Structure 1
Amino acid sequence: MSDKQIVLITGANTGIGLEVVKALYQSNASYEIIVGSRSLSNADNAIASVKQEFTSSRSTLSTLQVDIASDDSIHASFTEVQNRHGKLDVLINNAGASFDYAASQGKMSVRDAFNSAWDVNVTGTHVMTSEFAPLLLKSSNPRLLFVTSGTSSLQETEQFDTPQLARLNASPEAGWPKPSGMTPIVSYRSSKTGLNMLMREWTKTLKSDGVKVFAISPGFLATGLAGMGAEHLKKMGAGDPSKGGEFMRDVVEGKRDQDQGKVIRPTMVQPW
């Protein structure tokens, strides 16, 4: 059995997930980084790009096919990790999806968009965590991370003191129908608020087992998640996704242990 820390990241072939892979791969610590993806070819391509960008590392990279919207896929991935490593030190529940933009464009119904968002962002994440919990309990220093959103804070829905909050919380004019707005994220935002409660439940469930649990709010970063493209998001003020990867590496390496059980941002605890 390897003495490396075994880290599994779902949705790791692109976006924030890939940035976490890169950040861990550059660390002075030694990891077995499992790149979880719905497509093995996409995971292979992601690993190739990382190795091309960073020619040396103390860590190793491997792929894992896992679709968190499928119980069968989750169970098969658990069996594979169990057979390969016998334990898991860190599970980063990064896989997530937003379907609001598709609904606003008439490509999905509102019901399908909401159900799909909750199925991936909450239900699938819960099933994934439930399946892999036994492997986490075999670690001497287990960590469980849920990637949430800065838009998930209930308290901040009443704030307008930053340009982002002013835009996010602005009320439309009277009348019906209401305009969809530039960033329709109501199902995504709601599901990530639900994910925060899921994190609190897992904090309670695994407290006596010594598992350190966090919800990670990486900030407004230029990824393709919202369906609008990274360049469009940059124009709206989104930051470099690499910052999110570095932040999660810090959490994996114990730099925010005082904030376990909370929703955390790079420089603060996110209000509930």
Structure 2
Amino acid sequence: MASDKKIVLITGGNTGLGLETVRALYKTDVPYEIIIGCRTLSKGDDAIATVQKEIPSSPSSLSTLQVDLNSDESLEKAVETLQSRHGRLDVLLNNGGGTFDGDVRTGTKTLREAWNATWDTNVSGTYVLTTLAVPLLLKSEDPRLLFIASGTANLTDTTKMTDPVHARLNGSPEAGWPKNEGFVFPAYRSAKTGLNMMMREWARVLRNDGVKVWCVSPGFLATGLAGVGAEKLKQMGALDPAIGGQLVADVVEGKRDADNGKVVRSNGVQPW
């Protein structure tokens, strides 16, 4: 059924940065149909209950949609549901992702399994969903396509050592083998670098269709993504995830349109 509200799908919208983006959009005066894409619908329902309790009045609507980035069948069904319910999609926010580097250290995944899982979730699954959803985006009057980038995938800053965060990311371990690098995630950084290139390809392919495309680099946030706990991340300098959620909402709402086709962050454009 057609709606005057802007139709927004946020993958991984039930937790972390995705949930903060839901909050940021839900509290505005702009009416959205905010669709929380998640693997487990009950978790999406819990997220909706939390947001509605925190923000009891909004012109926007909240709903859930089963989205599993590792399953083509799930992604196909998700887009079919969007087509039948809404007939279009105004904003696709590819937020869903994961880190699996730590699984190698704990022995729950082999090195190959961890790298394949990282790329499948963060890049391949995202690409498949985007490809399936493009026909719905092209039915929008103002189609927007967003990918969540990472400051850790910034090639320019891989030699930066001027602050504790970059010193930790870019510092070299002592000579010898095996290496005990601790809080380092090469598969995730590599996949997010690949995601930046994927965004550039979508910007190229959809330029003449009027689709605005970005990567959004939300900064170092205290979310559960790294698997080390929000409090430990805060001690390491991580910021409140709400800051990142507001940045993503700003892009959705048109405040970074001048940076279409680029990786945007709070203080400007992130270099490659």
TM more than 0.5: yes
CA distance in 2, matches of 1:107, 1:143: 37
CA distance in 2, matches of 1:130, 1:89: 15
Matching residue of 2:195: 195
Matched positions, count: 271
1:239 and 2:239 correspond: yes
CA distance in 1, matches of 2:149, 2:121: 12
CA distance in 2, matches of 1:85, 1:75: 15
Matching residue of 1:160: 161
Q: TM-score, normalised by structure 2?
A: 0.98
Q: TM-score, normalised by structure 1?
A: 0.98
Matching residue of 1:89: 90
CA distance in 2, matches of 1:37, 1:214: 22
Report Cα offsets for 1:19-67 as digits up to 9, x if no partner.
0100000011110000110011011010000001110001000110110
CA distance in 2, matches of 1:69, 1:176: 34
Q: Which runs of 5+ in 2 are unaligned?
A: none
CA distance in 1, matches of 2:74, 2:45: 18
User: Which SS does the other structure have where 1:174 is aligned?
Assistant: coil
Is the contact made by 2:173 and 2:179 (CA closer than 8 Å) also made in structure 1?
yes
**Matches for 1:1-272 after TM superposition, within 5 Å:** 1-181=2-182, 183-272=183-272
Structure 1 residue 101 displacement after superposition:
1.2
Is the contact made by 1:159 and 1:166 (CA closer than 8 Å) also made in structure 2?
yes
Aligned residue identity for 2:174: E
CA distance in 2, matches of 1:180, 1:108: 17
Aligned residue identity for 2:41: L
Is the contact made by 2:7 and 2:91 (CA closer than 8 Å) also made in structure 1?
yes
Structure 1 residue 110 displacement after superposition:
1.0
Report Cα offsets for 1:207-237 as digits up to 9, x if no partner.
0000000001000000001111111111111
Structure 1 residue 167 displacement after superposition:
1.3
User: Which SS does the other structure have where 1:224 is aligned?
Assistant: coil
CA distance in 2, matches of 1:163, 1:155: 17
RMSD: 0.7
User: Which SS does the other structure have where 2:239 is aligned?
Assistant: coil
Structure 1 residue ranges (4+ consecutive) displaced by more than 2 angstroms after TM superposition: none
Q: Which stretch of structure 1 is more off in the superposition, 153-162 or 36-45?
A: 153-162
Aligned residue identity for 1:215: C
Structure 1 residue 204 displacement after superposition:
0.4
Q: Which runs of 5+ in 1 are unaligned?
A: none
